[in-house]
Structures are given as structure tokens and as C-alpha cells.
Structure 1
Amino acid sequence: MAHGEHKYQVSVQWTGNLGSGTSGYREYGRDHIVAAGSKPDIPGSSDAAFLGDARRWNPEDLLVASASACHQLWYLHLCSDAGIVVLSYRDNAEGTMLDSSEQGKFSQIVLRPHVVVQAGGDLERAAYLHHVAHEKCYIANSVNFPILCEPVIEADGV
């Protein structure tokens, strides 16, 4: 694993000028494009509650997805090292944001991974590795609110 400093560069380009810029709160679109190098663009907007396009990714979606994906990637790595064969992994993660007139902030993210491991695998160890993955997750270590994990582990064929 590479250690040291890693930098991530993205471009966020607002595409929501409807003709009069930000002349009024309801006079502009919240649409934007998130780009990073040669990766596919991500169509973004604000949450529909804030006049955004519900069909596009919003920053809150992306934050929850980042926490979920980071945990998943660490978990798969740890299982591989431990000789636990993961056959499928799906997380139905949920973030809670508190919105006030002064500021909004996330109060928590709950990860709910459902993991199927190969029959005969160590289910207790597979469950424990979620704790280790959480400790190692770069996103969980970077936010100022709790990220909880409520995994379901089962053996293939059970």
C-alpha cells in the first residue's frame, strides 16, 4: 500500500445559469458537472429540497456514497488478507443531515452492508472485520460526526 500524501483533483462546473445568473434565488439552476481527469462525469445538483434536480447526484448523496465505498473497499481488502472469500457485498447506507437557518450539518451516517461469504467462512471474523474497516476508513476518520455500521453477514447457501 502506498503511504504518504495523496492529492485528489476534481473540477466542479456550474451549468445552471438560466440566462440571468444568480439574479434571484429562484432564477438559477443548481446543476453542475463533477469531473476528474478521464473518469466519467457525474451530473450534480442540489437536493430537491433546495431547488435541485432529484435525478442528479447532490453533495449529500456523494458524501454518503464516499463513506460507504471507503468502508467497503477496506472491508474487502481485510477479508482477502484474512482468507475470507466475499461473494457479494451491498450496502444500503443512510445519512442524516440536520438543516437549520444558520447552517446544515450531518449528524450521522449508518452503513448497512449485507455480505455473503463463501460457505465454511469464518462468520465471526467476517463480522469483526467491519470494526477494523471502520477504524481504517479514510472518510470515517475525516468527518466530525459518527459513521455507524450495522452489518449482516451470511454464508453462501444459508
Structure 2
Amino acid sequence: MAATRTGAGTSPMTIQEVSRLSGLSEPTLRYYEKIGLIAPVDRDESSGHRRYTAAAVARIEALSCLRATGMSVHDMRAYLRHLDDGDAAAGQMRDLFSRNADRLTQELERMRVRLRYLQLKTELWDARERGDGAAEQRAAAEITPVARELR
């Protein structure tokens, strides 16, 4: 994991540095600022380039983690809103993360079905290549219900 420069007394970071650190692209950082997920970023007086404070970088790193889970911008906004409420929002935070965990569980199940379909197709074509009619028929019989799940 990359070392951060977000500690006390560090100089502000450029958008390129924050992008490298967070894994979020520069356009994504600009977009998050535009829609208010990130507060307006100070600019260097001489160049006009963005300069991110340690607090901004910490927030961006949190948003990067949320984005990596597939969390929606709507839910990221809710997270930030609840974060500001502290312990009083513990129930809302739990519900937010539980909903997103459920979403990922459903996505994983859909991916497992897709994987099983591809594995069975591999078995079918492998059996066909080997001339093993019985193995081909078994694979074909298993593919039909899996294919229904894909739809």
C-alpha cells in the first residue's frame, strides 16, 4: 500500500498525486468536487492548480474505498451526511452498509451463475473435442437450467 502524505504539517497535494494515492482518476476527482462530494479545493495562486489538504485527501481516500465497493453516489452522499452526525447516525450507517453488502451478495450470486455457465460450456466443448458423447450430454443437461438463471 502506498504511503500517504496526509499527516500534519505536510504540504498540499496536487490532483495528480491525489489521483495516484486514491486510485480515482483526475476527471473523477473534478466530478466529485463539482457535485459536492468533495468541498471546493483550494487553488495555487500562481498556477491555479488544485491543492488538496490532508483533510480533503482523507475524505477522498474514504470515497475511493466506497466507490471500490460499487456504492452509488447517492449512498456516498448519505454516508458523508451520516458521518457528520457522529454516533447518533450509527443505525443509519449500519443500514447503509448492510444494504450495500446485500447488493454485493446478489451481484456475487449472479457472477457465480455466469461462472457456472462458462464452466459447463467449457466441459461441453471439451467433451465434444474428445468425442465423449456421454460427457457432452451431461454438460448439455446441466447447462439448460443454468442458462435459465442467466435470463
- The structure whose residues are more often helix, as a share, is 2
- The structure whose residues are more often strand, as a share, is 1
- TM-score of the aligned structures, taking structure 2 as reference length: 0.29
- TM-score of the aligned structures, taking structure 1 as reference length: 0.28
